[in-house]
């Protein structure tokens, strides 16, 4: 159980275009989904936290107008990189957690396989 | 703010031997969780093991065990009987009243 899918796995786009990445929890309802960015040989950097049906909470320094996050259902969250530029090229990875009785500190996050974005 | 530290950027271990990956954290939260994830070269993050701050026993999952020393604020991952497929990046992560915070990771290389 606890499978998270992410689509596409790899995308190459031209500068100025927008790219949408989907994150789905396949066998559980994800009350919270998270979007991370990872640079080569670096750790994961949290971009935003999204709860189903409400606006995403962005981390400091992350442009909410550039990285649009929608969490329309308990199994789907999308990240849209708008007007992409070469510096947006990165590995984007989502995770999902199912709220448990113990509270946030016990929620295990399950990660999708990631999306490698290359902006030309 | 929570801080999590992995002091070993890289580790080598002989196949079939055990290896310990270090992780320390700094927090004033009373209730928190510690996680270890494995990231192979494919990029996916694979959940390995979880330890809650109030758990009295160290967590174990197959060949993975967590050496949790609350007073020292350390949560080291022990991998027993290393296999070649264990070669990967390993991330320690902390969850308290804030979203998951990751350490910088340790690259483990298993040698035949």
Could you read off the pLDDT of B38-62 as tens digits, one per residue?
A: 999 999 999 999 999 998 899 999 9
The answer to whether the Cβ–Cβ distance between A43 and B29 falls below 8 Å is no
Beta bridge partners of B101: B94
Between B30 and A6, the more confident residue is: A6
In the prediction, which pLDDT does A94 show? 95
List C-alpha distances in Å: B99 to A46, A57, A58, A101, B111.
Answer: 8, 11, 11, 17, 35
The answer to whether the Cβ–Cβ distance between A43 and B52 falls below 8 Å is no
In the prediction, which pLDDT does B56 show? 86
Between A79 and B3, the more confident residue is: A79
CB-defined contacts A:B, below 8 A: 63
Which tens digit of pLDDT belongs to each residue from A31-49?
889 999 999 888 999 999 9
What integer best gives the mean pLDDT of chain A? 90
The answer to whether the Cβ–Cβ distance between A43 and B104 falls below 8 Å is yes
List C-alpha distances in Å: B89 to A19, A96, A116, B96.
Answer: 28, 21, 18, 23
B9-34 b/e (C-beta count within 10 Å ≥ 16 → b):
eebebeeeeebebbbbbebeeeebbb
Residue A112: list chain B partners with CB under 8 A.
Answer: 44
In the prediction, which pLDDT does A101 show? 46
Determine if residue A67 is left, alpha or beta; phi over 0 gives left, psi from -120 to 50 gives alpha, anything else beta. Answer: beta
B43 touches chain A (CB under 8 A): yes
| Residue A78 pLDDT class (50, 70, 90 cuts) | very high
Please give the average per-residue pLDDT across A60-81, as a whole number: 93
Instruction: Indicate if the pLDDT at residue A100 is higher than 80.
Output: no
The two tokens of residue B8 are 């070993």
Are B90 and B38 in contact, with CB atoms under 8 Å apart?
yes
Between B33, B97, B102, which is nearest A44 by CB?
B102
Closest chain B C-alpha to A30 CA, distance in angstroms: 15
- The residue of chain B nearest to residue A34, with distances taken between CA atoms, is B99
Backbone angles phi, psi at B4, to 5 degrees: -130, 135
| Residue A55 pLDDT class (50, 70, 90 cuts) | confident
Residue B104: list chain A partners with CB under 8 A.
Answer: 42-43
Nearest to B63 by CA among B5, B25, B20: B20
Between A117 and A98, the more confident residue is: A117
């Amino acid at each position: 159980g606890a499978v998270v899918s992410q689509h596409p796995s790899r995308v190459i786009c031209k500068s100025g275009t927008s790219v949408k990445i989907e994150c789905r929890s396949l066998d559980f309802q994800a009350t919270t989904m998270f979007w991370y960015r990872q640079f080569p040989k670096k750790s994961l950097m949290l971009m935003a936290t999204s709860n189903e049906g409400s606006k995403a909470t962005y981390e400091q320094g992350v442009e909410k107008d550039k990285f649009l996050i929608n969490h329309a259902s308990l199994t789907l969250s999308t990240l849209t990189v708008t007007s992409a530029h070469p510096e947006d090229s990165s590995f984007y990875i989502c995770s999902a957690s199912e709220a448990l009785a113990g509270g946030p500190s016990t929620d295990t996050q399950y990660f999708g396989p990631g999306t490698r974005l290359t902006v030309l | 703010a929570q801080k999590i530290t992995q002091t070993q950027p890289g580790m080598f271990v002989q196949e079939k031997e055990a290896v310990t990956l270090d992780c320390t954290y700094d927090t004033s939260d009373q209730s928190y969780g510690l996680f270890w994830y494995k990231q192979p070269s494919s990029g996916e993050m694979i959940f390995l093991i979880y330890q809650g701050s109030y758990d009295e026993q160290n967590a174990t999952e197959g060949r993975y065990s967590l050496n949790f020393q609350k007073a020292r604020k350390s949560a080291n991952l022990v991998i027993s009987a290393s296999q070649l497929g264990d070669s990967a990046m390993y991330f320690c992560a902390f969850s308290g009243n804030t979203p998951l915070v990751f350490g910088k990771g340790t690259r483990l290389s298993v040698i035949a």
